[in-house]
């Protein structure tokens, strides 16, 4: 199952990246910018697919190209109203909180969380980002029951929330 | 479950919109009278956001590795480099 998904991702990459590269090149971007925007567009696409909010009216690679184009325009702070996306823009909304706020405090928090308490972070990511069921999480993370995995989820949330709170208070103090 | 874990569970259900309508109204009323609860809801929401950011950063580095390995393939690298020539 996972392998199949990986294969699909690679196939999509092969097909979509050259398309995005051509568009970004035409708009004046270089290879590294094209790659960066393509990766963000892929992530947005995959999230929508997982959340069942993908409203696909075209091929996945065209959809991803459309998102990459919007990201480029946002990056350039251009007026998207005057640029034709062929009516695609109605279906291409970008999550509001897609990019982390650039404060050094946020950076530090993310860095810290990556290093600390790996298992808790993984469990929370599986539930809140990958949208696994608690049943699936219990199996993958070796909990006897769904109930004990759920309690663990709240314990992890408590732990991480404490870190976020701490970082938040600090941010206010120096703001 | 301990009280704090129970509170976290309630906030979780509220934020994930898994509460019955009555419970939701009650919860919202509690938020109006308790600054502490309101603050905990805000922090918990931020925690979910932080988890998303972490996940996206990880996904990005996975895609970066995939990019590097595809660029090792002569055909793919040629196709991509031709675009930026």
Instruction: Give the range among A104-113, B7-16, B26-35, B71-80 with minimum mean pLDDT.
Output: A104-113
Is the pTM higher than 0.90? The answer reads no
Over 80: is that where the pLDDT of A73 sits? yes
B64 vs chain A: nearest CA distance in angstroms? 8
Over 70: is that where the pLDDT of A89 sits? no
Query: Structural domain tally of chain B?
Result: 1
Look at residue A118 in the predicted model and tell me its pLDDT: 86
**Helix residue ranges, H only, A97-145:** 104-115, 118-128, 134-140
Q: Identify which has the larger pLDDT, A167 or B18.
A: B18
Assess contact for A159 and A120: CB atoms under 8 A. Answer: yes
* Summary mean pLDDT of chain A: 87
Assess contact for A162 and A154: CB atoms under 8 A. Answer: no
Query: What is the token pair recorded at B69?
Result: 């390995």
pLDDT digits over A36-52, tens only?
999 999 999 999 999 88
A41 vs chain B: nearest CA distance in angstroms? 10
B84 and A168 within 8 Å at the Cβ level: the answer is: no
Q: Mean pLDDT across the stretch B36-58? A: 94
Residue with token string 């090149």: A25
Assess contact for B62 and A130: CB atoms under 8 A. Answer: no
In which domain, by residue range, is B74 found?
2-83
| Reported ipTM | 0.89
Over 90: is that where the pLDDT of A153 sits? yes
Q: Mean pLDDT across the stretch B42-47? A: 95
Residue of chain A nearest B63, judged by CA positions:
A39
Over 80: is that where the pLDDT of A83 sits? no
B34 vs chain A: nearest CA distance in angstroms? 17
Return the percentage of chain A with pLDDT > 70, whole number. Answer: 86
Look at residue A55 in the predicted model and tell me its pLDDT: 81
For residue A103, give every residue at least 6 positions away whose Cβ sits within 8 Å of its Cβ, in sequence order, or none: A171
What is the distance between the alpha carbons of residues B53 and A110, in angstroms, rounded to a whole number? 8
A129 and B55 within 8 Å at the Cβ level: the answer is: yes
């Amino acid at each position: 199952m996972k392998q199949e998904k990986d294969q699909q991702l690679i196939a999509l990459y092969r097909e979509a990246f050259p398309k995005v590269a051509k568009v970004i090149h035409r708009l004046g971007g270089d290879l590294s910018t094209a790659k960066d925007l393509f990766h963000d567009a892929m992530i947005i696409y995959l999230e929508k697919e997982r959340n069942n909010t993908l409203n696909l009216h075209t091929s996945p690679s065209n959809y991803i190209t459309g998102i990459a184009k919007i990201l480029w325009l946002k990056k350039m702070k251009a007026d998207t109203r005057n640029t034709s996306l062929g009516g695609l823009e109605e279906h291409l909304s970008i999550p509001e909180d897609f990019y982390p706020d650039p404060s050094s405090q946020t950076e530090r928090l993310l860095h810290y969380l990556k290093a600390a308490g790996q298992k808790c972070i993984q469990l929370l990511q599986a539930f809140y980002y990958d949208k696994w069921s608690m049943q699936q999480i219990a199996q993958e993370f070796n909990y006897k029951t769904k109930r004990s995995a759920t309690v663990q989820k709240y314990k992890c949330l408590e732990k991480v929330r404490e870190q976020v709170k701490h970082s938040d208070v600090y941010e206010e103090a120096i703001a | 479950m301990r009280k704090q874990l129970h509170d976290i569970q309630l906030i979780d259900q509220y934020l994930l919109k898994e509460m019955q309508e009555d419970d939701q109204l009650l919860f919202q009323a509690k938020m109006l009278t308790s600054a502490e609860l309101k603050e905990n809801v805000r922090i918990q929401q931020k925690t979910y956001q932080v988890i998303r950011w972490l996940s996206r950063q990880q996904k990005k580095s996975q895609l970066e590795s995939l990019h590097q390995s595809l660029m090792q393939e002569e055909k793919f690298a040629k196709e991509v480099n031709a675009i930026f020539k």
